[in-house]
Chains A and B, each alone.
Chain A
Amino acid sequence: MPRPPSPSIPEKEFVYGALKQSLRLDGRGMLEMRTPTLSFGPELGWVECAMGKTRVLAQVDGKMVKPPPERPLEGMITIHSELSPMASNEYEPGRPTDEEVTLTRTLDKVLRRSDAIDKESLCVLAGQRVWHIRLTIHVLSNSGSMVDCACLAGIVALKHFRRPEVEVEGDEVTIHHPSERAPVPLSMHHTPFCLTFAFYPDADTPPLLDPSHLEETLSAGLLTVALNAQRELCVVQKAGGIPLAPEDILKIMDIAVTKARELDKLVEARLQEDWKGRHVEVR
């Protein structure tokens, strides 16, 4: 089924009426996010992020390549994300929907262009060898806020990943296997987190954080904000939708800052927990 029909009239009227009274269908508060659950795989750089029923899998892989001549001193990062019918029955392989394009562009802006990873540290031998880091995102299930979940999974996977240690002697490059020398984490400048807010046509309805699938479909506008825990704004994305007043946007930013701090603490705690349980030691 390429496109499911839009929600029925009773569903629409009920959701608008309930949101006017600040009641959400899953009992959350208007600005309450679903707590993300992060599970790490056996390999380093394999993360599954679940926010309620929305689940995204991210995997990071690295290999050494020759850099392009116009940028000989920087490493390369590519992000691959494709929505399959596994995520929802609205998506067909090979035919990108608007949502898919939004996902690819947001991931690109938040993870690549915000300079989250230090590309110069990925250079091994100038002009000859650099690291090419590949991040693959699989959306397993879309139940709203797919972009937030994908960005979180991506950034945690990049923090979780360890690349093999490399030794350079003159023009010779030796890659050490992880069993010989402990692998090295990627050098990251900051950790951006993505948050989506939904707006509705009725002026009395306040904005919602982390909309579910039905809330997203019935919204009149979506605002995506990416920032890190140090109060630095990375991306603000609003593609169409109803116009917003400057005061509304500033209020949203304040809320987003608090949430980003909470997410940062959660991610750090989970990464520490996982690292303790792992054996990446060298004899």
Chain B
Amino acid sequence: MTSVLPGENVPAQHVNLKLGPGLLQQTSVGGTSAIVSTRAGEVQHSANRSRWWIEGNSRRYSPAPQESVVGVVVSRSGENWRVDIGSAHMATLDGLAFEGATKRNRPNLKVGSLLYARVSLAHKDMEPELECFDAQTRKSEGFGELKGGFLVQCSLKMCRLLLDPQHFLFPLLGSRFPLESAIGMNGRVWVSTKDPRQVIAIARCIEAVDPDGGGMDEAAVKKFLTTLDV
């Protein structure tokens, strides 16, 4: 696996080439196109070499469409809410972009509420836009306000690992005590359990398993959990 820095050419060639996160196609004047990396990391591709992407880690989020994120409401501007999702610009959330919301019947959000939303529009020079429902079905599909619980910050690679159903951490924790979580692709994870000690244990485990903070493996996490009284 080769490591690249932003701006390097990547030799990606296929009939049905699909570019994933971190790659950009640049067409120069002569008509030749080159595939250039926009992030630092390792170049990876699928088995039949049709899909290519860059696997890297960072803590700063760049919004991309159709990604689920956890945001904090910052202020209200008219009908819309301004939400901080950790990106360079604040995101806008339409006050009516919730399941069953009409002009008379709006959700009651306050400054400081946590939301689980999907990025509906994201261009690099515009403010990203969010929605709290599925645009096709108009149903909430799990998006909306998150009440109670706690917010844990982690690196972007960690939240991608947590979203993978094969990863060991959440099943391991879930087997010890019931927990509810909402994982945002912007490096924020909301967790809620009955006992504050359990939330603290989850936060410390996430920090320990994070590739930035040491990358503990499963056996070490099990030993770590026995030291915390959960």
**B98 touches A (CB below 8 Å):** no
Known: A5-B72, A8-B112, A8-B113. A14 touches B196 (CB 8 A): yes
Contacting pair A21 B148 (CB below 8 A)? no
Contacting pair A10 B150 (CB below 8 A)? yes
Name B113-148 residues within 8 Å CB distance of A: 113-114, 146-148
Name B160-199 residues within 8 Å CB distance of A: 190, 196-197, 199
CB distance from B4 to the nearest CB of A (A): 25
Give CA–CA (A8, B146) in the complex, Å.
11
**B228 touches A (CB below 8 Å):** yes
Give CA–CA (A1, B87) in the complex, Å.
10
Contacting pair B72 A14 (CB below 8 A)? no
**Interface of B (DSSP majority class):** mixed
Known: A14-B149, A14-B150. A9 touches B200 (CB 8 A): no
Known: A13-B148, A14-B149, A14-B150. A8 touches B200 (CB 8 A): no
Residues on the A chain within 8 Å of B216, using CB = none
Number of A-B contacts (CB under 8 A): 49
**A17 touches B (CB below 8 Å):** yes
**A2 touches B (CB below 8 Å):** no
B207 to chain A: closest residue by CB: A26
Give CA–CA (A9, B113) in the complex, Å.
6
**A261 touches B (CB below 8 Å):** no
Give CA–CA (A18, B148) in the complex, Å.
13
Q: How many residues of A contact B (CB 8 A)?
A: 20
Which of B190, B200, B203 is in CB contact (< 8 Å) with A10? Answer: B190
Known: A10-B114, A18-B200, A25-B203. A5 touches B74 (CB 8 A): yes
Contacting pair A23 B200 (CB below 8 A)? yes
Contacting pair B74 A11 (CB below 8 A)? no
B196 to chain A: closest residue by CB: A18
Q: A8-B112, A12-B112, A14-B199 are in contact. List 9 more A-B contacts (CB 8 A).
A: A5-B74, A7-B112, A9-B110, A10-B148, A11-B151, A14-B149, A23-B196, A23-B197, A24-B200
The 20 listed contacts between A and B (C-beta, < 8 Å) are A1-B88, A4-B84, A5-B72, A5-B74, A5-B84, A5-B112, A7-B112, A9-B114, A10-B114, A10-B150, A10-B190, A14-B150, A14-B196, A21-B196, A23-B196, A24-B200, A25-B200, A25-B203, A26-B204, A27-B200
In the complex, the 7 A-B pairs of residues with the closest C-beta atoms, listed nearest first = A14-B150, A9-B112, A18-B196, A8-B72, A5-B74, A8-B114, A8-B112
